[in-house]
Amino acid sequence: MSKQLRVGMVGYGFMGRTHTNAYKRLNDFFPVEHRPVLKAVCGRNEEKTAAFAKNWGYERVETDWRNLVRAKDIDLIDIGTPNDTHFEIAIEAASNGKMVLCEKPLAMNVAQAEEMTRAVEMAGVPNMVWFNYRRVPSVALAKQIVEEGRIGRSFHYRATYLQDWTISPDVPQGGAGLWRLDVNAAGSGVTGDLLAHSIDTAMWLNGPIARVSAMTKTFVKERVHAETGAVQPVGIDDACMFLAEFANGSMGTFESTRYARGRKNFNTFEMNGEDGSLYFDLEEPEYLQFFEYKQLQSGKKMESHLTGWRKIHTTNSEHPYMSHYWVPGTCIGYEHTFLNALADFVAGIETGKPTQPDFRAALQTQRVCDAVISSAKQGTWVETGAE
């Protein structure tokens, strides 16, 4: 017997699309009890919102999110709008007793994130932040390998998230599709957009980041506004790099940019421990690379003439999430990372073991992001306070 999960989606942009796709696919692939129902989608532009609703099958359209979060026929509010709107919507949704799923980064700053976390926890509503890259099977396998103790004492972690789509000074900023370049809507540039992913994954695998030393740059100083046509100063960080010390004593380097010619979605991490190492690259998501040094069975080491980096093609039914899809050797795509996340969230509701990352976890990532921006401004090492 299935239960309805009535969805109110806020936002019809890129993330509105990826989340909606996940709701529509859930029951085809995952044996959960809940059946998402696309009740309403909310957007300020009624025409565009209606077109989106028609394309994807939402029952109705809202143009004021305040109506949506109060609607009685909605169980879950999903926030897929620009960063500057997350705070208000999440607080209101929680206070109306709705489950809240929020696109990353959680908030514009730590103060907001703390209040949002308090709100969902006080309301006691299920909540999750869409750090979807945890749900790439290869990344989930990395977590499993770490938890199996195959990496050992951690020495190093390094992450990059490189893109190249804003190199041209002709790219405008602001407006519907380009709010990520507008500091008022986005809060920061690559730090909140891309490094937030890297930091979430890093702390999931390697524990809290204790302190950072960062530098940011804005390579293109002025851009035309996409809607008004006015030339405006660029307020975001085009690129950000930082050194990190983890609470466990390991060292980290992080870098993100939208100016790395030839890198499109080059979200990579490498972790080096006493017993093994891991490497992942989102541009070839079907692989996790693993160097195993640890003794496989008691008393024996890997024979040294056979050691090497192993490319694990994470498409076996033994790999995370993959038993729900096709056959070994066949890949899933970007969109399935959202589907997997949703499946985990719903399973969390049904089993009473909430999935991660919830708002509290995302708050820790926010702490690091804020510390990074702060360090870059001050030119000093900054403690993050992340737990």
Please report, as residue ranges, which positions from 189 to 228 form the binding site for its own copies (by CB under 8 A): 213-215, 217, 219
C-alpha angle with apex 335: 323 to 65, nearest 5 degrees? Answer: 125
Asked if omega into 357 is within 30° of 0 (cis), the reply is yes
Given 163, 173, 268, 384, the residue binding its own copies (CB under 8 A):
163
Half-sphere exposure of 20 (CA within 13 A, CB side): 24
- Give the type of residue at 62: E
Question: For tokens 């950072």, what's the residue?
Answer: 212
CA distance 159 to 242: 10
Given 332, 341, 361, 362, the residue binding its own copies (CB under 8 A):
332
CA distance 80 to 64: 14
Shortest Cβ distance from residue 302 to its own copies (Å)?
Answer: 8
Does 167 bind its own copies (CB under 8 A)? Our answer is: yes
Segment 230 to 259, residues that bind its own copies, using CB under 8 A:
239, 241-243, 245, 249, 251, 253, 255, 257, 259
Segment 261 to 280, residues that bind its own copies, using CB under 8 A:
261-266, 270, 272-277
Shortest Cβ distance from residue 259 to its own copies (Å)?
Answer: 4
Does 24 bind its own copies (CB under 8 A)? Our answer is: yes
Per-residue binding letters, 28-67, with its own copies (x by CB under 8 A): x--------------------------xx-----------
Segment 111 to 150, residues that bind its own copies, using CB under 8 A:
141, 144-145
**Among the residue ranges 58-66, 111-119, 285-293, 361-369, the one whose residues contact its own copies (CB under 8 A):** 285-293
Question: For tokens 């004021």, what's the residue?
Answer: 64
**Among the residue ranges 68-76, 79-87, 161-169, 178-186, the one whose residues contact its own copies (CB under 8 A):** 161-169
Shortest Cβ distance from residue 81 to its own copies (Å)?
Answer: 18
Does 383 bind its own copies (CB under 8 A)? Our answer is: no
For the chain, what's the residue count?
Answer: 387
Shortest Cβ distance from residue 82 to its own copies (Å)?
Answer: 16
Closest CA to 37 of 66, 64, 75, 69: 75
Please answer whether residues 225 and 174 qualify as being in contact, where contact means their C-beta atoms are separated by less than 8 angstroms: yes
Closest CA to 379 of 214, 211, 197, 204: 214
Please answer whether residues 314 and 287 qualify as being in contact, where contact means their C-beta atoms are separated by less than 8 angstroms: yes
CA distance 106 to 94: 14
Does 3 bind its own copies (CB under 8 A)? Our answer is: no
**Among the residue ranges 3-11, 158-166, 202-210, 353-361, the one whose residues contact its own copies (CB under 8 A):** 158-166
- Give 354 or 385: the residue with its C-beta nearer to its own copies: 385
Question: Other C-beta atoms within 10 Å of 354: how many?
Answer: 14
Does 229 bind its own copies (CB under 8 A)? Our answer is: no
